[in-house]
Amino acid sequence: MRYDIVTIFPEYFESPLEVGAIKKARKRGLISINILNLRDFAYDKHKMVDDRPFGGGEGMVFKPEPLYRAIQKVKGEGSPYVVYLSPQGRVLTQKIVKELYEKKHLLLICGRYEGIDERIREHFIDDEISIGDYVVFGGEVAALVIIEAVSRLVPGVVGKRDSVEKESFSQGLLKYPQYTRPRDFMGYQVPEVLLSGDHARIEAWRRRKSLETTLKRRPDLLKKASLSPEDEKILKELGWKKYE
Ligand SMILES: NC(=O)c1ccc(NCc2ccccc2)nc1
């Protein structure tokens, strides 16, 4: 997986991409990440990357030329899928993460202020993605979310797992609760089934817990989840109204 990031704050990415699984994956060549400083593509004397909006109004807008030059440079080196991070984008889900992983090469455009000139958005952006319905200072944090979520799907990045597929959201349900030592914490015990060593019982307990948790906290996910007849039976017992 290759990522190119266009930003006016390259220093923003120094530490988050130098720790943990991402750092290891970069070292092992499983993923490559290049940061492009938008200012390097502003050839005027003042290296202007933004300017006031035509028609008036608050704030600044990213000028089209520097963005165009940065995008063209990356296009000269490969075939990137160009993603613009903004509150106006389609909201990121695990399904979209998988789509982005299939692209193998992402060019992430991090806007700030009021965003980028519409002529870039309209003619040179392949996809516009939001990490949620809220506004932050810049697209950089959204770019990090995408890099982490997509990189977890790159084989070898996530440690020995039967499969990332089994994860929460991959089956469309929330994950079951987790416990670790000590067995007794302030008088709070670990569910005895988890100490039983009976793997069939444990798996059934975990599935029931996933269904219970999802029904309680995110019933909206149940419509899209792949549910077995046994799942539906459990959900009905838990009071799920399937067609409500
Ligand atoms: N919800 C998100 O993914 C998101 C992305 C960026 C952002 N702020 C920077 C910006 C503001 C306006 C236009 C373009 C970028 N805030 C939230």
Q: What is the pLDDT of residues 49-104, one digit of tens each?
A: 999 999 999 999 999 999 999 999 999 999 999 999 999 999 999 999 999 999 99
Classify residue 231: in a domain, yes or no: yes
Which pLDDT band, with edges at 50, 70 and 90, does 168 fall under?
low
Yes or no: say if 4 and 109 are a contact pair by the CB < 8 Å rule. Answer: no
Q: Name the amino acid, one letter, at 222.
A: L
Whole domain around residue 232: which residue ranges? 168-238
Which pLDDT band, with edges at 50, 70 and 90, does 167 fall under?
low
DSSP 116: B
CA-CA distance, 166 to 216, in Å (whole number)? Answer: 21
pLDDT digits over 108-133, tens only? Answer: 999 999 999 999 999 999 999 999 99
Cα(114) to ligand 1 centroid in Å equals 8
If one counts the domains in the chain, the total is 2
Q: How confident is the model at residue 165, as a pLDDT?
A: 62
Instruction: Report whether residue 130 contacts ligand 1, using a CB cutoff of 6 Å.
Output: yes
- Sequence-distant (≥ 6) Cβ neighbours of residue 6 within 8 angstroms: 36, 38, 67, 70, 71, 107, 108, 109, 110
Residues 79, 48 share a domain: yes
Residues 133, 70 share a domain: yes
Q: Which atom of ligand 1 is nearest to the CA of 133?
A: 1
For ligand 1, atom 9, name the residue with the nearest CA: 138
Residues 200, 133 share a domain: no
Residues 70, 10 share a domain: yes
Classify residue 212: in a domain, yes or no: yes
Q: Name the amino acid, one letter, at 82.
A: V
The mean pLDDT value of the chain amounts to 95
Residues 106, 69 share a domain: yes
Instruction: Report whether residue 136 contacts ligand 1, using a CB cutoff of 6 Å.
Output: yes
| Residue 36 main-chain phi, psi, to 5 deg | -110, 125
Q: Which pTM does this prediction carry?
A: 0.94
**Complex ipTM over 0.85:** yes
Classify residue 35: in a domain, yes or no: yes
Cα(142) to ligand 1 centroid in Å equals 8
CA-CA distance, 118 to 243, in Å (whole number)? Answer: 42
CA-CA distance, 101 to 151, in Å (whole number)? Answer: 8
Cα(51) to ligand 1 centroid in Å equals 18
Instruction: Report whether residue 111 contacts ligand 1, using a CB cutoff of 6 Å.
Output: yes
Residues 127, 183 share a domain: no
pLDDT reading at 164 higher than 90: no
